[in-house]
Structure 1
Amino acid sequence: MTSSEALLTALRLSDSMLPVGTYTASYGVEQYLNEDDIETADELGELIEGYLRGVIGPAEIVALGHAHRSAAADDLVGVLAADERLGAATLPAEFRDSSMKAGGKLLELLDEIDDGPFAATETTGFLGEYTAACEDGLAEGHYPVVLGVVCQQAGLGCREAALVSAYGSVTGLLGAAQRLGRFGHTAIQAQLSTLFPVIEEVCEQYYDADLTAMCSFAPLADVRGMAHERADRRLFMS
């Protein structure tokens, strides 16, 4: 792809308009707000920075990077390994379900796109093999792994794919907090600006890490995610 095509593809995959259902997940943020653990925009930003450093970087970006490199080498076993390990590292059931549903929706979406960098990639080539593996139950199809394969097949580099994933995760968390009515547009955008350097740092640190380095440590977020499953009031799936 040209640099312009690569940029447009990255924007497309990180856009909240992408119909994969990520807007229905708050990954525990709703429960933090329900229990009044987050009161200010700065506290929200600190929480999301914790997600970046404890989960998004060392777990999701590691899995995405490994899947991207494996796809480049036509190594389906490597992609399946990233998918399996990420599922094992994601403890709350709602988080796993949201990730698998988003990954499945992205694969379904590509099946209906008949032009551009995704044309015919769903049923042919490496992406088709991975899709078949998901359909056969050999992989759960977690969203970061699917995104890593999709970005590689579309011609985006591994670092760029990591930035797409991390940016999408951060804006998804911020957007969830905003839709819950606690924070205004200006406060959310201010926190996004503050988090840009953290996004870049985390992606640079983890996009080429070995799969064996994967870890996830956000115990309070995990507890909030598990409590959300039994919450009396829920707007989001997770």
Structure 2
Amino acid sequence: MTTDADAFLSALRLSDSFLPVGGYTASYGLEQYLNEGRIETHDELEAVVAAFLRRVVGPCEVVALSNAHAASADAALDAFCAVDERLHAVTMPREFRESSTKAGAKLCELLFEVDGDRAFDAAVANAIDADETPGHYPVVFGAVAQTRGLSRREACLAYAHAFVTGLLGAAQRLGRFGHTAIQSILESLRPVIAAVCDRYVERDPSAMVSFAPLAEIMGMRHERAGRRLFMS
């Protein structure tokens, strides 16, 4: 792990819900789980989030992020776009794709404006603006993390932690779980986050796959829900 202060602070910044990329509007179908009474207890919520980590975040998004990080290190825009297209292809629910690409475009735009002109950031931003690549959030996150000094593993850990806190924050804002329960689940999931990142950080883009059929169904049903606090 890095001891560089700038890289460490960048990891905190990128994994903080304070970062205005719209993550607070996404529940990735969790709201629908709650609407249908499929999650009622602390243990059930923890199991669903752990399943997201093992079935979606790890084998799909961590793989995409890690390879986007490598593409950024090599300044290889074609490789970056290939990873982005692969992630787009394996992300089935439309709501999930839209949430991810909106957040990716916003992250790229925000940091490009705030942090100044970094060559690969600019190349990615231009490719997204020209519709040459979808600009999924994990892929943009990987490139941004690399240009700010995070290692591949550090970037994956920061992303996975942010994903988990986003889902748990959604559950809390929906009024079903209190602060203590949420913090207890977050603590319990720390080993899962680390294990998932370690397992998938070195995988090739061709291994990228997502298998969470119930979560995908919940995301699709959520799109037609009569009332929604979240966009996905």
Structure-1-length-normalised TM-score? 0.95
Give unpaired runs (5+ residues) of structure 1.
none
Q: Distance in 2 between matches of 1:126 and 1:5?
A: 19
Q: Distance in 1 between matches of 2:18 and 2:108?
A: 16
Q: Distance in 1 between matches of 2:204 and 2:3?
A: 29
Q: Distance in 1 between matches of 2:144 and 2:36?
A: 37
What percent identity do the matched residue pairs reach?
58
Q: Distance in 1 between matches of 2:160 and 2:76?
A: 24
Q: Aligned residue for 1:51?
A: 52
The structure 1 residue matched to 2:165, chosen from 165, 171, 174, is: 171
Moved over 3 A (4+): none
Q: Distance in 2 between matches of 1:63 and 1:33?
A: 29
Q: Aligned residue for 1:188?
A: 182
Q: Aligned residue for 2:127?
A: 133
The structure 2 residue matched to 1:120, chosen from 112, 117, 120, is: 117
TM-fit CA distance, 1:2: 5.8
TM-fit CA distance, 1:212: 0.7
Q: Distance in 2 between matches of 1:194 and 1:2?
A: 26
Q: Aligned residue for 2:221?
A: 227
Within 5 Å, give how 1:80-99 maps onto structure 2.
Answer: 80-99=81-100
Give unpaired runs (5+ residues) of structure 2.
none
Q: Distance in 2 between matches of 1:47 and 1:165?
A: 18
* Residue type of the alignment partner of 1:85: R
57-66 or 1-10, which deviates more: 1-10
Q: Aligned residue for 2:112?
A: 111
RMSD: 1.0
Q: Distance in 2 between matches of 1:38 and 1:13?
A: 29
Task: Please say if residues 67 and 80 of structure 2, whose CA atoms lie closer than 8 Å, have aligned partners that are also in contact.
Answer: yes
Task: Please say if residues 112 and 122 of structure 2, whose CA atoms lie closer than 8 Å, have aligned partners that are also in contact.
Answer: no
Structure-2-length-normalised TM-score? 0.98
Q: Distance in 2 between matches of 1:101 and 1:140?
A: 9
Q: C-alpha deviations, 1:13-63, integer Å up to 9, x for none?
A: 000000000010000000000000000011100000000000000000000
The structure 1 residue matched to 2:156, chosen from 151, 155, 162, is: 162
* Residue type of the alignment partner of 1:4: A
How many residues get paired?
A: 231
Q: Distance in 2 between matches of 1:167 and 1:119?
A: 26
Q: C-alpha deviations, 1:106-127, integer Å up to 9, x for none?
A: 11211321xxxx3322xxx111
Q: Aligned residue for 2:138?
A: 144
Q: Aligned residue for 2:10?
A: 9
TM-fit CA distance, 1:155: 1.0
